[in-house]
Structure 1
Amino acid sequence: MPEVTSPLSSQNAVLAFFDVDNTLMRGASVYYLGKEAWRRGIIGWRDIARFAWHQFRFISVGENHKHMANARERALALIGGHSEKTLFALAEQIYERDILPNLWPETVALTQEHLAKGHEVWLITATPQLVAQVIAARLGLTGALGTRVEAKDGVLTGELDGHVLHGDEKATVAAELAERRGADLAECWAYSDSGNDIPLLSAVGNSVAVNADAKLRNHAKTMGWQILPLNRAGLTEARRRVKRQAKTVRKRGR
């Protein structure tokens, strides 16, 4: 499953990385994938009950590595044996029905601020790659980096293609992308709500804790990172910072 990329390339690119769950949107995107699979009869009541419990915990107390891992394992299992076209159709449907109404307008506005500066804006998330691609495409972003699911002859096996894009893996993938795009990480930006993304935030020169959990909030205070509350005042200050401090990139055709 290829990355979604912009038709333009740039010299001295600046990348802005945005986490998805509880950063760009309220809740866990993988839950909505399970919910749509239930609507279509792919999974049963017991499975959707587990997904619902995970969503409640995630919204209430934030990301827990064990619970997230269990949810992703169930998500992989439920899509095993189905075609990539089926997963794409699920992703399209959940965007319209579930993800769009739960997007944080403040964070979405920041993605557009970066685009206006000529930056590449990439979603970076543990959610399945195809789901992340749909969100990025609908929001007009540069592309998406997500967890890849193995497929053979267009049919999903239910196994990972590589690693879950989580924790240190996010930082590694972000650094690899920055190198390919000719970007200096010191000029790049990253936004996340989770302490599990401290490696990603530490890898860039401009780190923003959005709707942060306790672990990330404490670390951000220690490091002097910007802490962004999801309200009008916080958004105004964050946009001013991007306008004031972020490098403007002029793009040229390939």
Structure 2
Amino acid sequence: MPDAAPHRTSETPVLAFFDVDNTLMRGASVFYVGREAWRRGLISFRDIAVFAWHQFRFLAVGENRSHLAEAKERALGLVSGHTEEGLIALAHDIYDRDIAPNLWPETVALTKEHLAKGHEVWLVTATPQLVADVISSRLGLTGSIGTKVEALDGVFTGALDGHVLHGDEKAVVARQFADARGASLAECWAYSDSSNDIPLLTMVGNRVVVNPDAKLLAHAREQGWEVLPLKRSSIREAQRRLKREK
């Protein structure tokens, strides 16, 4: 986790990359996209049942490449034919209803620590860019790097613009982004729960594994990486505080 270094004033940026699903929040954000689409009558009950199954599997055993690919394909199908403006509004509703109550307070606090030190905090995620942008904006982070979906004249086609940011692809994009920003990877940070993000975690000088899956936990212990375990009770307490403040 960030040390007690003073506020950074150097022109060379330090970037902190945060995964979203099960790192910044509990569960898979794409599931909530599907559930909100079902609430609005955009997809069938069968579709939401499939999304629910992927969510259960993700929480129980972590990411699975084939399940993730199917979920992403279904999510892309949801946006086809819808306007950017309409889906931004939907993303804000998803944030308020489903994402905010499931944020890990400890991980959110780490983003704030990085910002206080003058670091840039970027979400880097397979989550659609539009949703990632809303999460980043609502949390006051620097920005997001997500999976891009093709849009023509402000209407989504349902096709990818590039690749799903997952595994090696996420690391490649993050490296290119850091190079473009003039950042030294040795000074950068990365946070993730998934063994699929080992390439991202390996390429930076500072990494923290958050609620790691079994494979990542074994790798982290072997490499001497910092491990941050989280408990659902922290989310429940945050939810209670939110209700008291309302």
Is 2:9 the counterpart of 1:40? no
Is 2:19 the counterpart of 1:19? yes
Equivalent residue letter for 1:177: F
* Structure 1 segment 129-168 matched on structure 2, within 5 A: 129-168=129-168
Match of 1:242 in 2: none
Question: Could you tell me how far apart the structure 2 residues matched to 1:87 and 1:149 are?
Answer: 12
* Structure 1 segment 51-200 matched on structure 2, within 5 A: 51-200=51-200
Q: Secondary structure at the match of 1:121?
A: strand
Question: Could you tell me how far apart the structure 1 residues matched to 2:157 and 2:140 are?
Answer: 30
Equivalent residue letter for 2:228: L
Q: Which structure 2 segments of 5+ residues have no match?
A: 1-8, 232-246
Equivalent residue letter for 1:77: G
**Worse overlay, 222-231 or 50-59:** 222-231
Q: CA deviation at 1:205?
A: 0.4
Question: Could you tell me how far apart the structure 2 residues matched to 1:84 and 1:11 are?
Answer: 35
Question: Could you tell me how far apart the structure 1 residues matched to 2:90 and 2:54 are?
Answer: 19
Q: Secondary structure at the match of 1:230?
A: coil
Q: Which structure 1 segments of 5+ residues have no match?
A: 1-8, 232-254
| RMSD (Å), alpha carbons | 1.1
Is 2:215 the counterpart of 1:215? yes
Q: CA deviation at 1:70?
A: 0.5
Question: Could you tell me how far apart the structure 2 residues matched to 1:138 and 1:153 are?
Answer: 26
Question: Could you tell me how far apart the structure 2 residues matched to 1:10 and 1:43 are?
Answer: 49
Q: CA deviation at 1:177?
A: 1.2
Question: Once the two structures are superposed, what CA deviation does each residue of 1:57-94 show, in whole Å capped at 9, x if it has no partner?
Answer: 11111111110110000000111111111211111100
Contact 1:11 1:182 in 2 (8 A): no
Q: Secondary structure at the match of 1:145?
A: strand
Question: Once the two structures are superposed, what CA deviation does each residue of 1:203-241 show, in whole Å capped at 9, x if it has no partner?
Answer: 10001110000011011111111111126xxxxxxxxxx
Equivalent residue letter for 1:213: D
Q: Secondary structure at the match of 2:145?
A: strand
Contact 1:15 1:189 in 2 (8 A): yes
The alignment of Structure 1 onto Structure 2 pairs a total of residues equal to: 223
Match of 1:227 in 2: 227
The 4+ residue runs of structure 1 with deviation greater than 6 A are none
Q: CA deviation at 1:10?
A: 6.1
Q: Secondary structure at the match of 1:173?
A: helix
Q: TM-score, normalised by structure 2?
A: 0.89
Question: Once the two structures are superposed, what CA deviation does each residue of 1:13-60 show, in whole Å capped at 9, x if it has no partner?
Answer: 100000000000000000000000011111010101100111111111
**Structure possessing the higher relative contact order (Cα contacts under 8 Å, 6 or more residues apart):** 1
Match of 2:4 in 1: none
Contact 1:124 1:144 in 2 (8 A): yes
Question: Could you tell me how far apart the structure 1 residues matched to 2:172 and 2:158 are?
Answer: 24
Question: Could you tell me how far apart the structure 1 residues matched to 2:212 and 2:31 are?
Answer: 20
Q: Secondary structure at the match of 1:95?
A: helix
Question: Could you tell me how far apart the structure 2 residues matched to 1:202 and 1:119 are?
Answer: 19
Question: Once the two structures are superposed, what CA deviation does each residue of 1:100-136 show, in whole Å capped at 9, x if it has no partner?
Answer: 0000000000000000110000000001001000000
